[in-house]
Amino acid sequence: MQVQTFTGPIALDQLGRTLMHEHLFIAFPGAEFDPTATFDRAEFITEAVRRLRQLRTEHGVRSFVGPCPIRLGRDAALMREIAEKSEMNVVCTTGFYFEEMGLPIYWRARTVTEIAELYIRELTHGIGTTGVKAGAIKVATGGWLPPYTHLFTNFVPMLKDRGLSDHEVDAIRHDNPRRFFAGEPLPRMNEV
Ligand SMILES: [Zn+2]
């Protein structure tokens, strides 16, 4: 069993001490137009790498899950560069933020199946053309749009159709993937 990270798949025993929900960078769409906000990419990378190295050397953290929603500043190339330079295992996720704040107009007009196809592509093929595969699904739903709340029910048979094992499919049913990464048995959907 392997875990996908920004720098490729790793074995479970390479995970080490793992933080399950940390953000390298997050911003709502539109922030890039704010004239009062400055973002120096090179400077940001340098500082992020410094802090991650510190986290690794002083606190023994080897890995973390970076559950940045798709439209909240998720930048696979940026995160991969930081992961590479800091030698930190960072797990990328797929998934939108909850409906009111993170589901773009375009995707509100798509069907549940089409949203699921996007997630599946990011899990199995990669994010855009970066080659970075998501290693987990960010689940955030407020129940505002009924089709979106049904996504994860419909998702399970779709994943099984594509050959994912029961254990891999179980991982998407949990808001805390720690047990999944640890390879522990997981309760079924109706037990959660
Ligand atoms: Zn978060």
pLDDT along the chain (192 residues), means of 10: 91 90 91 90 96 95 93 94 97 88 88 87 93 87 54 67 67 49 49 38
State the distance from the centre of ligand 1 to the C-alpha of 23, rounded, in angstroms: 6
Pairing of the two strands 8-11 and 2-5: antiparallel
State the distance from the centre of ligand 1 to the C-alpha of 69, rounded, in angstroms: 8
CATH 3.40.190.10 fits 2-182, yes or no: no
State the distance from the centre of ligand 1 to the C-alpha of 37, rounded, in angstroms: 21
State the distance from the centre of ligand 1 to the C-alpha of 65, rounded, in angstroms: 10
Between CA 10 and CA 93 the distance in angstroms is 15
pLDDT at 88: 96
State the distance from the centre of ligand 1 to the C-alpha of 66, rounded, in angstroms: 8
State the distance from the centre of ligand 1 to the C-alpha of 102, rounded, in angstroms: 12
State the distance from the centre of ligand 1 to the C-alpha of 22, rounded, in angstroms: 6
State the distance from the centre of ligand 1 to the C-alpha of 105, rounded, in angstroms: 22
State the distance from the centre of ligand 1 to the C-alpha of 39, rounded, in angstroms: 20
State the distance from the centre of ligand 1 to the C-alpha of 35, rounded, in angstroms: 25
State the distance from the centre of ligand 1 to the C-alpha of 138, rounded, in angstroms: 9
User: Rounded to two decimals, what is the model's pTM?
Assistant: 0.77
State the distance from the centre of ligand 1 to the C-alpha of 67, rounded, in angstroms: 6
State the distance from the centre of ligand 1 to the C-alpha of 26, rounded, in angstroms: 9
